[in-house]
Amino acid sequence: MPSSSLILSVGTILSALSSTAVATQYSQSESYTAKNWLDAFKFETYDLNNGFVNYVTEDVAKSSGLYKTVGNDVMFGVDGTETLDYKKMPGRKSIRLEGKKNYNHGLFILDVKTMPGVCGMWPAFWSLGQEPWPVKGEIDIIEGVNDNKANKMVLHTDTNCKVSGLGQTGTQAGTDCALNGPNGASGCDVNEGRTNSFGPGFNTNNGGHYVMEWDSDAIKVWFFPRGTAPSALNAGSNNLDTSTFGTPAANFKGDCNIDERFKDQRFIFTNNFCGDWAGNAYAASGCPMQKDSAGNALNAVDSCKKYVAENPLVFANQFWKISSFKTY
């Protein structure tokens, strides 16, 4: 017969597991729209991904029309006027927005109508802990390169984090999130199969809602194409229950201490060009390869830079158009 102390311990564990399982109800904490967007985000000009990019200041962004509000929506994008020299930096003007506040746990909802998605670009909505990367973790909610049709969701940690890939609709590509693991800087990634989850297909459908839930048990991401979100979410309710959201696209859960690996996350929007991912994947994405002035074929990275530098009109309408970002 088990001892009373063992029974108590088991009971305590079961109680804790039960409370984790039902902790799905949230109340709204913050709502950011065109009226107060810059209360939540600030402009940054640095780049850590070797991009062909020139992240501009708030003053330049506003004066050049790269950042503006239209009705109830906020819009921020990239320059589509200047012809550049692909051999010289800085690259094309763009915007990097970083959150002013750090978060630990919560429910986060982004209502997006339009996002960038053409050859040469690397748009992303993500969160990051304290540098040096990725000591406090990185959560990629929306990310892709070139004219990819589907979203990729990824976790990055410094060490000791593996996920199972169970309980999700997306396809688990890598299960080890650690920088010192076999996937290295690629992290543990989930591919969203729906072609309206990123880029052109996303925009044609007038976007949708991306939702990230973060607690001690797991980090989950849902994507709801426009018109398919749960009624309470669609109505902008102040109270939401994620148990009504259905199976998430990504369910990052497994042999990973979430609270140890992910802390003090700030949310970030980037519109990068080429760089470590979009540049290296440029040819594989089916984007137009380029030649130098002597007619010699350029490699993928230089082809990406040349295409971005010499085709400004391609990027004239590449922007994020966002209705709201809400925290719960």
d(CA 139, CA 312): 31
Contacts of 124 (CB under 8 A, 6+ apart): 140, 142, 143, 144, 268, 269, 270, 272
Q: How far is CA 65 from the centre of its chain?
A: 23
Domain limits at 93?
A: 25-327
Q: What is the pLDDT along the chain (328 residues), one digit of tens a residue?
A: 334 333 333 343 333 343 344 469 999 999 999 999 999 999 999 999 999 999 999 999 999 999 999 999 999 999 999 999 999 999 999 999 999 999 999 999 999 999 999 999 999 999 999 879 999 999 999 999 999 999 999 999 999 999 999 999 999 999 999 999 999 999 999 999 999 999 999 999 999 999 999 999 999 999 999 999 999 999 999 999 999 999 999 999 999 999 999 999 999 999 999 999 999 999 999 999 999 999 999 999 999 999 999 999 999 999 999 999 999 9
Q: Is 258 among the domain residues?
A: yes
Q: Is 86 among the domain residues?
A: yes
DSSP 63: H
Amino acid 10: pLDDT: 39
| Phi, psi of 288, rounded to the nearest 5 degrees | -70, 115
Amino acid 130: pLDDT: 83
Q: Of these residues, 44, 138, 213, 310, which one is catalytic?
A: 138
Q: Is 166 among the domain residues?
A: yes
Q: Is 305 among the domain residues?
A: yes
Q: Of these residues, 30, 58, 98, 143, which one is catalytic?
A: 143
Q: Is 14 among the domain residues?
A: no
How many structural domains comprise the chain? 1
Is 98 catalytic? The answer is no
| Phi, psi of 302, rounded to the nearest 5 degrees | -70, -35
Query: What is the pTM for the complete model shown?
Result: 0.93
Q: Is 149 among the domain residues?
A: yes
Q: Is 6 among the domain residues?
A: no
51 phi-psi bin (left φ>0, alpha ψ -120 to 50, beta other): beta
CATH number of residue 240's parent domain: 2.60.120.200
H helix runs in 35-98, sequence order: 37-40, 58-63
146 phi-psi bin (left φ>0, alpha ψ -120 to 50, beta other): left
Is 138 catalytic? The answer is yes
Give the CA count within 13 Å in the CB-facing half-sphere of 296: 4
d(CA 47, CA 268): 12
Q: Is 16 among the domain residues?
A: no
